[in-house]
Amino acid sequence: MTYLLWGLLVALSLKILLVLYRVLKGPTIFDRMVGLGVIGTDVILLILFIGFLADEIDMFVDMSIAYGALGFMGYLIVAKYFERKGDLEG
């Protein structure tokens, strides 16, 4: 079972690197925002897998909930910034 979790950790890490390329080189701000959302979700999964491997899942669940809430607030702030700047208009 631990080999499966280590494999998932490696696969998620590689996926984060691939999506990071889209965030950095994305042609539009929408691509970058979606990429950041995917990276945030994958990091939450990484935190939970690490917690499962460390046999401290309760603490890591709390950390992942806090990370998800902070990430969501960050996305809202960035979206509001671009809305005021006028970059999101069609």
For residue 2, give every residue at least 6 positions away whose Cβ sits within 8 Å of its Cβ, in sequence order, or none. 53
| Structure confidence at residue 29 (pLDDT) | 81
Summarize pLDDT for 2-20 with one digit per residue, the tens.
Answer: 899 899 999 999 999 999 9
Backbone phi, then psi, for 74, in 5-degree steps?
-65, -40
Report how far residue 33's alpha carbon sits from residue 63's, in angstroms, rounded to the nearest whole number. 23
| Structure confidence at residue 73 (pLDDT) | 92
pLDDT in tens, the chain (90 residues): 789 989 999 999 999 999 999 989 888 888 888 898 999 999 999 999 999 999 889 999 999 999 999 989 988 888 888 778 765 554
The label of the residue with tokens 């994305």 reads 26
Which residue ranges make up each domain of the chain?
Answer: 2-85
CA-derived radius of gyration, the chain: 16
